[in-house]
Structure 1
Amino acid sequence: MASIVERPKKDGTTTFQVKWRLDGQWQTENFGDTDGATQFKNLVEAHGGKWPHGWVRGRGFVEPDEQPGDMPLITWANRYVSRLTGIDVRTREDYESEIRLHFQHIEHTTASGLTLPATICNLTQDDVTDWVRREQEGEQDPTDHKKWRRRPADPKSIRNRHGLLFCMVQAAVDATPQLRTTNCCKKTSLPRLDDHIDEEMTFLERDEYARVATEIKDPDARDLADWLVGTGMRWGEATAIQVRDLRLTADVPTVSVQRAWKKAKKGSPKAFYLGPPKTKKARRLVALTPAQVDMARRLTEGHPPEGFLFRAALGGAWRHANFYNRKWQPAVQAAVEKGLPKRPRIHDLRHTHVAWLIGANIPLPAIQARLGHESISTTVDRYGHLVRALDSEITAAVQAALGAQAPRHGRLRAVVNG
């Protein structure tokens, strides 16, 4: 039987030594905590008093598939993000934050049940699944179950973090020399995006939007809200439109989406800067209604080509926080107090725009182009459930099929004349 001996050190710390006899000789292994010592003691006893298979004294388990080039997962993740191209500084910082806050909780569990730090080579599908589950469940404070050490993550955040991990592991598969032969993230079962009670998107009926808009007393803020719901543009796109982007005298008046506001690097003098739109297809032309053309002419009169279409009180571009706190939120609150049954966000104006187009039987591919979605699947996944235009045709087809059922018994017989 193995035993654990506490050995105080001069610096005030304590080493926990596991001792047992093997072939008449004392064997020892030291640990810095009781949990590790107890876990190892149980492994020794489970192996009949022998060293656990794969354990190297002073190092721990060294797995057979350990190979040159292996490194801690966090080290690999940070190296991967530092070498990414085609992303802005703020996106890189966001990735680094995800690694620091969430990837540190990824662990590797050996076949014998021992938990080890994850490396880019020892990570398995089970390890990824265990991490996703921990992200989904969160971690409660053991001393107070009303508090959280880590709150449960929402399904979208988990999918985004898993997607980043997938790319990192794939980089190890594609590396030269190859560090992995397979991507252990491929078969992960992720939580459903609709696996919650609250609606992620809020859609406003026309009269519901009118109730909110009526409460926006600043005419410049009202113009911006009308533009957002009337074009479906993202906030960062609409507030970045400049006079030179408008084509108001064309046969079909349009506005060209060429730029968008981006969050600047932390510590930068300015919080935002103008950069390219979100994706390649986000660069697009958006057709304008006569009312929108009239608005654009009124707002751009006397302004230079680089002037912004929508301007705050001091003449600069709108900032989301200012618009939300001073214009949008008070208007929504006033409408709610008067009976509005919803609390829409600013981004819900984009969702509302789509709902109105679908209600008018506009095809999803046309909506995809107008919104600037990179893939039609994004449009279908997000808004496909709103498409009801063919309900009557579908039910009629089902009714026709059920109304002409084939005989349930007997064989088919040829019809013979005469």
Structure 2
Amino acid sequence: MASVHPRKNRAGEITSFQVKWRDGGGRDGAWQSETFEDQDSAGVFKTAVDEAGQHWPPGWVKGQGYIAAQPAQPEDRYRFRQYATTMIDNRTGIEERYRKDCHRDLKTYLFPTFGECDVRSVEHFSSDTIDAWIRKLEQTWIWRGPDKKRLSPKTIRNLHGLLSSILERAVLAEPPLRDRNPCKLSNLPRADDQIDDEMCFMTPQEVDGLMRCFSVRQDQLLVTVAYGTGLRFGELTALMPQDITDRNTTKPKLRVQRAWKRDEDGGYFLGPPKTKRARRTIRISSSVLEAFDELGLYELQDEQLLFTGAGGTRLHYSTFGDRWARAVRLAREAGVFTAGKKPTPHDLRHSHVAALISAGHGLPYVQRRVGHESIQTTNDVYGHLLPEADDDAMATIEASLAGGRPSLRSVG
């Protein structure tokens, strides 16, 4: 059952009333809430939640109220909750883990606002109601480990993409259920709006200083390879000797052919990389090759893992993460990092890209090297770093204007 809770300020004065309930009424249902200025309105809304079976009342948009004075009760098959669930259940060509994640996001972020709405309704799903939902997401706080942060622009874009795919299916249905997809009119937060919160770029000197703070040699080598290649942790820890090619030439290469994936039960298995373009071959430097050599490149069997945990099994992110946190703390105490700098293992990938861009390498090259599916992704994530290459660009332009010929850089 929903319940009404008065909310007080620091002086002990009641300032509002909050209605709280678990979605669906079950113990595992996500907590939902709506706030009202007066107790009578809160009581009316509580009754509406109870009548809706501990779901959001049909036609109600969180923080906005009813989007239609007398919202029509949709047929169950056109109710967004049922329509979206069925669509995800029947979607083909996706991994079961992704299907499970979609259901989780629907339940947590979409159903509280749109669950009881009609996918056919231009009142329930319009640019105005979707903009209000996006604005609510921008103001949503979540816990990430010990820190409380707002939803990132990337997460909001992913949630918006999920909603858009469902409404697009309604547009393309036979016969069509909608004339258009209002999600196409949305202005989404840019990926770099919270860049300081989401990324921490390290200089080569900081990476070197951090590496010296690890007590396990394999960890030091992992930092070297991660920073030297820009691979994701799941790709990095799936590497085998057979993936290192042209070892005895001046142009050694690394093939990204697999990555650790999670199944629907939360277990891990080796599968294809994140996307089609993530399956790639990249050049590696002599320092990276030397790190692989020290890891046992020439002694291990072709299908043995280069980075391992206890007993030669998969190296767990949490295991490495604990040692990473200790090394960061030691590096901060040694003055390697400023007090506010809190890099994560994934920031080695970001720092790899920053080093490439600051040296003048363009986004198309970066896209291919790090395995982004589209250059738009690369631009959204790293485009703000391009000014770092201004000096190099200006030197090239000045040489051209002065009649000189700029030297060519080998990036192969």
What TM-score, normalized by structure 1, do the two folds share?
0.70
Task: Check 1:61–1:246 CA distance in 2 against 1; reply closer, same or farther (3 A cut).
Answer: closer
How far off is 1:305 after superposition?
1.6
Which of residues 263, 269, 274 in structure 1 aligns to 2:270? 274
Distance 1:61 1:367 in 2: 50
Query: For structure 2, which runs of at least 5 residues remain unmatched after alignment?
Result: 1-42, 49-67, 142-147, 402-412
Which one of 96, 107, 117 corresponds to residue 100 of structure 1?
107
CA distance in 2, matches of 1:366, 1:37: 58
Indicate the residue corresponding to 1:129 in structure 2: 131
Question: Separation in 1 of the partners of 2:395 and 2:293?
Answer: 47
State the alpha-carbon separation in 2 of the partners of residues 251 and 207 from structure 1: 26
**Matches of 2:117 and 2:291 in 1, distance apart?**
57
Q: Looking at secondary structure, tell me which structure has more helix per residue.
A: 2
Distance 2:393 2:101 in 1: 47
In 2: Cα distance, 1:362 partner to 1:311 partner: 33
Q: 1:34 to 1:233 in 2, by over 3 A?
A: closer
Alignment of 1:198-217 (within 5 A): 198-217=196-215
**CA gap 1:121/1:290 in 2 versus in 1, 3 angstroms:** same
Q: What residue in structure 2 maps to residue 118 of structure 1?
A: 117
Residue 153 of structure 1: CA displacement?
A: 3.2
C-alpha deviation, 1:130, in angstroms: 2.0
Code of the aligned partner of 1:93 = K
1:217 CA displacement: 1.2
**How far 1:73 sits from its partner (Å)?**
0.4
Partners of 2:191 and 2:381 within 8 A in 1: no
Q: Determine what percentage of the aligned residue pairs are the same residue.
A: 34
1:262 alignment partner AA:
K
3-state SS of paired residue (2:207) = helix
Structure 2 SS opposite 1:390:
helix
Residue 230 of structure 1 is matched in structure 2 by: 228
How many residues align? The count is 324
Matching of residues 124-273 of structure 1 within 5 Å = 124-125=125-126, 126-138=128-140, 153-196=151-194, 198-247=196-245, 248-250=247-249, 252-266=251-265, 271-273=267-269
Q: In 2, Cα distance between the equivalents of 1:303 and 1:157?
A: 40
- What amino acid sits opposite 1:305 in the alignment? D
Aligned residue in 1 for 2:13 = none
Is the Cα contact below 8 Å between 1:212 and 1:331 reproduced in 2?
A: yes
More displaced 10-residue stretch of structure 1: 171-180 or 385-394 = 385-394
Cα distance in 2 for residues equivalent to 1:335 and 1:278? 32
Superposition CA RMSD, Å: 3.0
From the superposition, tell whether residues 313 and 37 of structure 1 become closer, same or farther in structure 2 (CA, over 3 Å). closer
C-alpha separation in 1, matches of 2:251 and 2:45 = 72
| 1:248-327 matches, cutoff 5 A | 248-250=247-249, 252-266=251-265, 271-298=267-294, 299-325=296-322, 327=323
Structure 1, unaligned runs of 5 or more: 1-32, 39-53, 109-116, 140-149, 402-418
- Cα distance between partner residues in 1 of 2:150 and 2:225: 36
Cα deviation, residue 204, structure 1: 0.9
SS where residue 154 of structure 2 aligns?
Answer: helix
The separation in 2 between residues aligned to 1:300 and 1:176, in whole angstroms, is: 56
Distance 1:239 1:163 in 2: 30
- Contact 2:153 2:191 (C-alpha < 8 Å) held by counterparts: yes
When Rg is computed on C-alpha atoms for both structures, the one with the higher figure is 1
TM-score, normalised on structure 2?
0.71
Verify the 8 A CA contact 2:76 2:82 in the aligned structure 1.
no
Aligned residues of 2:88 and 2:103 also touching (Cα < 8 A): yes
After TM superposition, the structure 1 = structure 2 runs for residues 399-410 of structure 1, keeping only pairs within 5 Å, are: none
Q: Aligned with 1:302: secondary structure?
A: coil
Cα distance per residue 1:126-178 (max 9 Å; x no partner): 22122222222349xxxxxxxxxx99533322221111000110011111121
Report the CA distance between 1:86 and its aligned residue: 2.2
Q: Secondary structure at the match of 2:185?
A: coil
Q: Secondary structure at the match of 2:281?
A: strand
Match of 1:143 in 2: none
Shift of 1:250: 4.7
For 1:85, the equivalent position in structure 2 comes to 92
- The residue that corresponds to 1:328 in the other structure is 324
C-alpha distance in structure 1 between counterparts of 2:274 and 2:92, whole Å: 15
SS at match of 1:106: helix
1:389 maps to which residue? 389
| Cα separation, 2, equivalents of 1:36 and 1:294 | 65
